[in-house]
Chain A
Amino acid sequence: MRNALTFLKEQTKDDLLSWRAQDTTAKLFDISHAAVEWLALQNGILPARYQRNRSMIGVEEQLRLFQSRVAVIGCGGLGGYVLEELARLGVGQIVAIDPDIFEEHNLNRQILSTPASLGQPKVAVAAERLAQVNPAVTVIPIQDAFCLNNGFELLAGVSIAVDALDSIPYRLQLAEVCTLAGIPMVHGAIGGWYGHVATQFPGETTVQNIYRHWVAGKGIEQQLGNPSFTPAVVASLEVAEVCKVLLGKGEPLRNRKLSIDLLEMEVHEISYAEVPVKLVDAA
């Protein structure tokens, strides 16, 4: 590895390591792109692909993102954008969970879906896409439905879980597993022009409170469907929350929910009573 490091340092220009040099190092020393990225970041060298992150995310923070494992539960409307943005952000390990295959009615909004991917498992398409977007990212595709029975196993070693599910009862199961396993969770949901986002730390019950009145069935998405832009908006807000929680920056949406109306262009915040919990270092 010392030789690889020497080579990396020789290839570094203006504190940046070009993709070409990263790729050459991987081939020359027969190591993975992930190993090269780890070696670079460990030694204060920033892969050039992250140079526009630099003033908001320093090299040490980029290393922290690289060493994080994030689970995305649901790889459809929200999940597709979440996965894309996490990979471009440089999150090193991404667990992608979804039991479904792409169908024609996904094409209006699900960024991973194309006519060519119809019939293919969503998680397989996700792994393929992310390998193209950022080869240093390790994707763990799991073609299965998340539930209480497998949830603890699927979230093992995860720093944070991203809710990109399309079902309220499965969401509540995710919230329960996250609570019991002590994992922070970013919650997002959409329906038509509308959506909302909230972040829940272990011990908090925002998601359970959001669906406190739920009895059965789906929300307004059943009548309205979802257009191309609502998942992109809500997914991006979710990824901003993930980034902040992983880096311990800013003010996450704790004990509050942001409600978004894209038809009237209104944003509303709903406060929830704070639950006293001990501070958790998510990363």
Chain B
Amino acid sequence: MQITLKLFATFRNGRFKVAEQELLEGTDVRAVVLSLGLTEEEIGIVMLNGRHGELDSKLAHGDTLSLFPLVGGG
């Protein structure tokens, strides 16, 4: 299956803004995060098809997954 993966803010550094990714059926968000060399602790927001998603969310063909880093300063 194919998904669209969008990266935001510092996640773009040395990677990409948007890319099509070929994944095995049943892949979850966590597996994509780890494949990027990111850790779960670095993840702020998981957005799946424009809505709040989870690391455990299973991906489906045609999904758009967006990942934002954790932001907590003031």
Name the interface residues of B27-52: CB closer than 8 Å to any CB of A: 40-41, 43-47, 50-52
Q: Which of A209, A217, A268, A273 contacts B41 (CB 8 A)?
A: A217
Residues of A whose CB lies within 8 Å of any CB of B are 74, 76-79, 163-168, 171, 188-196, 209-221, 223-224, 226, 231, 257, 259, 261, 263, 266, 268, 270-273
- For B8, the chain A residues whose CB sits under 8 A away are 259, 261, 266, 268
Q: Which of A163, A215, A221 contacts B71 (CB 8 A)?
A: A221
Name the interface residues of B5-43: CB closer than 8 Å to any CB of A: 8-10, 40-41, 43
B69 touches A188 (CB 8 A): no
- For A78, the chain B residues whose CB sits under 8 A away are 74
A195 touches B40 (CB 8 A): no
A166 touches B73 (CB 8 A): yes
Q: Please name 27 pairs of A and B residues whose Cβ atoms are closer than 8 Å in the assembled complex, sorted by A.
A: A76-B74, A77-B74, A167-B72, A189-B71, A189-B74, A190-B74, A193-B9, A195-B71, A196-B71, A213-B40, A213-B44, A213-B70, A214-B72, A216-B41, A218-B73, A219-B70, A223-B10, A259-B68, A268-B8, A270-B45, A270-B50, A270-B51, A270-B68, A271-B50, A271-B51, A273-B51, A273-B52
- For A261, the chain B residues whose CB sits under 8 A away are 8-9
A191 touches B51 (CB 8 A): no
A226 touches B70 (CB 8 A): no
B74 touches A164 (CB 8 A): yes
Contacts beyond the supplied A189-B71, A211-B70: 15 A-B pairs with Cβ under 8 Å: A164-B74, A167-B72, A167-B74, A168-B72, A171-B72, A189-B73, A210-B44, A212-B54, A213-B44, A217-B41, A219-B44, A219-B73, A221-B71, A259-B68, A273-B51
